[in-house]
Amino acid sequence: MQDLGAKLGFEHTMMRSCVVQMVKIIKTCYVASVGSPTIIQWCAFLNKRFCRSLKLISLVSLSVFLVGCATKPPESQMLKVEQMAPDSWTASQEGKSGVDREWVQSFGDSSLNKLVAEAVARNPDMRAAAERVVQAQKAAYVAGAAARPALAAEFKGDRSKRQFVGMPFGGSSVENGSYADLRVNWEIDLWGRIRMGQMAAISDAQAAELDAKAAEAALAAEVCKAWFSLGEANEQLTLAKRVAQIRDDSVETIGERFAQNLGNDGGSASQFRLAQTDQATSKAVISQRESEVRMAQRRLELLCGRYPAGKMKGSSSLTKMPARPPSGVPSALLQRRPDVIAAERRYVASVARLKEAKRAIFPILSLTGSGGTASDALEQIVNNNFSAWSIGATITQNLLTGGLVKGEQAIRTSKEREELANLEGVVLGAFGEVENALMLEGWLKRRVQDMGKASALANEAAKAASDDYLEGTGDILTLLTGQSRAVELGSQLLVLRRIQLENRVDLHLALGGEFRLEGK
């Protein structure tokens, strides 16, 4: 993340010198005017400073375009919540030190890497988030506009007529006027009120940039989960088709016995109808699995900014589980999670806005200056002999505001407490997400291992029941039960593996893991 404060807030020698010289002129003018009995003496003194003053005004205005504002980036306030971090994670002590990097690439699927990059580039929500960052950055620059000189040029031409009533000779007079003027107005931010407002805007812009980064990570996670769902749906469809074939074979075998009327050996009508029921059910499951594949395809297409046509090709099987990422220490999480840092930036903004409100009670010092020409002939508008100028300073102190200043201070004090509470809530939520993901990491690992063993045993039992039945030593109920159990456990194993992969994605997100987009 580029430091927006550094971008907008660097200092410049010309700006500082112009400020110092302008203030010196005002002070000198004020001292010289003390005790001066006439306005003529005041104007005569300023006349000596005229050329130099206008040069300074021009330099000040030019420096605005060259250097922008002189606001330093807001300092971090993360110390407010660092004491909430424990020394280690309670859900697991197996975590390694280090930073979770390139977690999308850790799944070892180049197609998934390309889809994540495509989604980040084309997803409408990401484009909207990018525009919000631009808006916040521009707002940060605009917030400092009041601290920069405002320069305006004016050209005016008029024609007027006057009637002389009661004069000895009467009559009228027609006058022409042409004016060219350059004006500058500058509020000197003596107390830092404007600077605090811009610091708040800079913090908001930084928070918007971090929100966009968090949204990018969340989108990458959604794409990964959708990819895993599509992989599971394809495997479930393959399993359903295999089961349907097994049911067809069973119905054919049982049908032969039923036709031969072998009675208790498997030829009863009830057993045959039961096998046909399982056969029809397996066909219905295929239709269900096909619809799940289409839904997973459309979900992935929408995330990638494509039309949801249900034609995206996915992996024919679930991705293999990669090695566990380093979890680090809890305190390091505060510097990695973009949502946590964004909440801290919003708290910093609320602190700056409170300071801005408190400094609104101080007087406002403004410098004004103008220089130009005035003539009754347009061709003389550029003649220095017709020049006119003025320079001055204004100090404004609010006395009665109807409770506006105090009310605004109270509002912003409450807002500061709200943002601090929000920051604490985000930090606690982040810790909770890591703890839950770490806990599920171990639990799902054991569950998948146990379910894998159970599924393997069920497949062996189903095969043994089939062999026994074909040899005439087994019954149809044992065969159908064994087949159903093997199918059920196989399907559950696929679901668990997909949940395990999704939890791994959640762990990466909770740890503030980084990833690299394909082609960048």
Tell me the mean pLDDT in the region 332-339. 91
Tell me the mean pLDDT in the region 464-489. 85
Alpha-carbon span 479 to 483, nearest angstrom? 6
Query: Of the ranges 1-15, 144-158, 327-341, which one carries the lowest mean pLDDT score?
Result: 1-15
- Tokens 């005017």 — which residue? 33
DSSP state of 359: G
pLDDT of 105 = 92
DSSP state of 75: P
DSSP state of 123: -
Q: What average pLDDT does the structure give for the chain?
A: 80
Alpha-carbon span 94 to 260, nearest angstrom? 63
Alpha-carbon span 76 to 85, nearest angstrom? 17
pLDDT of 404 = 92
HEC string for 69-101:
CCCCCCCCCCHHHHCCCCCCCCCCCCCCCCCCC
Alpha-carbon span 379 to 150, nearest angstrom? 28
Residue 67 pLDDT greater than 70, yes or no: no
pLDDT of 53 = 44
- Tokens 């096998």 — which residue? 275
Residue 378 pLDDT greater than 80, yes or no: no
What domains are defined for the chain? 4-78+99-316+334-510 (1.20.1600.10)
Report the percent of the chain where pLDDT is more than 90: 47
Predicted confidence (pLDDT) per residue in 429-472, tens digit = 999 999 999 999 999 999 999 999 999 999 999 999 888 888 87
Alpha helix positions (H), 177-268 = 193-260
Predicted confidence (pLDDT) per residue in 78-121, tens digit = 887 888 888 888 877 655 566 677 899 999 999 999 999 999 99
Provide DSSP, 227-241: HHHHHHHHHHHHHHH
pLDDT of 227 = 96
Q: Which two tokens stand for residue 137?
A: 């950055």
The answer to whether the pTM exceeds 0.85 is no
